[in-house]
Structure 1
Amino acid sequence: ALFSDNVLAASVVVNSTIVNAKDPSKHVFHLVTDKLT
């Protein structure tokens, strides 16, 4: 379960990077909130 959670988190980060590539501030915000949750 932990392994698949990590894979899911990694894919979310990759998708977030692609979606927010033109808005670095949003990307950083998402990384911070992801680590807090």
Structure 2
Amino acid sequence: MASVDLGDLGKSAKRCRRRIVDMVYKAQSGHPGGS
């Protein structure tokens, strides 16, 4: 198993969340929240 830097993982996760919210906003449909 490869070693993972938690700092890099956190940055990557934050970037993914921002992109998801941006895509949902641009599509003008759906919602990013649960249930």
Shared fold per TM-score greater than 0.5? yes
Task: After superposition, give the CA deviation of every residue in 1:7-35 in whole Å (9 maximum; x if it has no partner).
Answer: 0000000100100112342x225xxxxxx
What is the count of residue pairs matched by the alignment? Answer: 28
Whether 1:5 aligns to 2:9 is yes
Q: Runs ≥4 in structure 1, deviation > 6 angstroms?
A: none
Would you tell me which structure has more helix in proportion to its own residues? Answer: 1
Unpaired stretches in structure 1, ≥5 consecutive residues: 30-37
RMSD: 1.5
For 1:17, the equivalent position in structure 2 comes to 21
Gapped runs of 5+ residues in structure 2?
none
Larger relative contact order (C-alpha < 8 A, sep ≥ 6)? Answer: 1
Name which one, 1 or 2, has greater alpha-carbon Rg.
2
